Amino acid sequence: MSTPPAEQTTSGKRRQRLGEDERREQIVRAAIDVVAEEGFAAASVTRIAKRAGISKGLVFHYFADKGDVMEQTLKATAVTIREAVAADLDLTAPVTEVIRAAIRRAAALSSTHSKELNALNQITQNLRTPDGAPRLDLTAYEDTYQAQEALFRRGQDEGSLRHFDTRVMAITYQGAIDMMLAYFEAHPNTDLDRYADALADILLVGMAKHPEKVENPEIPKPGR
């Protein structure tokens, strides 16, 4: 999943023949790279094709138009990220532990999926229908929100979490994670592990019924 910095991802062969799926992946990969590195506006088809090491025409062979490329890229990236977060996350563990672990995982994404995250955000916010309406608003987060709400409700049912509006909490929770990642992007010197723990503390104190049980004991608070 890592990407070499070079223009041509694949070996220098000409007229390389690939299966449909490999090609699509290759193009999506290039789209992510270009969007992440140069911005949505600079992600022209020409640029993407060059990055993928293929011709411009071929892109249109596999995608209806540029919007299609972006949409597919978005979808694929969302799946990738979701899987990365969900991987080896024991959802049957106590809810507070699940939450803390999930925040840590999300923080870890910064190093493993930085480009994907960046591209995902940019495409989400910029992709529009021809008439100017956003093609994807936060509706796209719906699945995520529902999964988180389910988790929160389990916690509430089990008695480990307080009573609160699960939808508002899901949005806040997701926002807190997104901001953490964005903040790290802008301030790469930040100690992400500590940030993640501090964030977990804040959120869990806000959610948990017995906050004292969930506070992270390992990392001493800065003020003391």
Contact footprint for DNA (CB under 7 A): 14-18, 20, 23, 42-47, 54-58, 60-61, 65-67
163-185 burial, b at 16+ Cβ within 10 Å, e below that, comes to eeebeebbbebbeebeebbeebe
The correct pick among 41, 83, 111, 212 for binding its own copies (CB under 8 A) is: 41
Looking at beta carbons only, is 23 or 197 nearer to its own copies? Answer: 197
Based on the shown chain and the rule CB under 8 A, indicate whether residue 180 belongs to the binding site for its own copies.
yes
Q: Shortest approach of DNA to residue 165 CB, angstroms?
A: 41
Q: Shortest approach of DNA to residue 58 CB, angstroms?
A: 4
Place of tokens 């609160």: 164
Identify which range of 15-23, 64-72, 103-111, 117-125 contacts its own copies by CB under 8 A.
Answer: 117-125
Looking at beta carbons only, is 66 or 154 nearer to DNA? Answer: 66
Based on the shown chain and the rule CB under 8 A, indicate whether residue 171 belongs to the binding site for its own copies.
yes
Q: Shortest approach of its own copies to residue 17 CB, angstroms?
A: 14
CB count within 10 Å of CB 144 equals 18
CA 25 – CA 34 distance, rounded (Å)? 14
| Closest among 151, 61, 137 to 103, alpha carbons compared | 151
Token output for 68? 């299609």
The single-letter code of the amino acid at 162 is: R
Q: Shortest approach of DNA to residue 67 CB, angstroms?
A: 6
CA 168 – CA 219 distance, rounded (Å)? 29
Based on the shown chain and the rule CB under 8 A, indicate whether residue 9 belongs to the binding site for its own copies.
no
Q: Which does 104 bind (CB under 5 to 8 A by kind): DNA, its own copies, none?
A: none
Place of tokens 């964030």: 199
Q: Shortest approach of its own copies to residue 223 CB, angstroms?
A: 6
Query: Cβ neighbours of residue 150 under 8 Å, at least 6 residues apart?
Result: none
Looking at beta carbons only, is 24 or 162 nearer to its own copies? Answer: 162
Contact characters 54-83, its own copies, x per CB under 8 A: ------------------------------
Based on the shown chain and the rule CB under 8 A, indicate whether residue 25 belongs to the binding site for its own copies.
no
The single-letter code of the amino acid at 67 is: G
Return the SS3 of 32.
helix
CB count within 10 Å of CB 198 equals 17
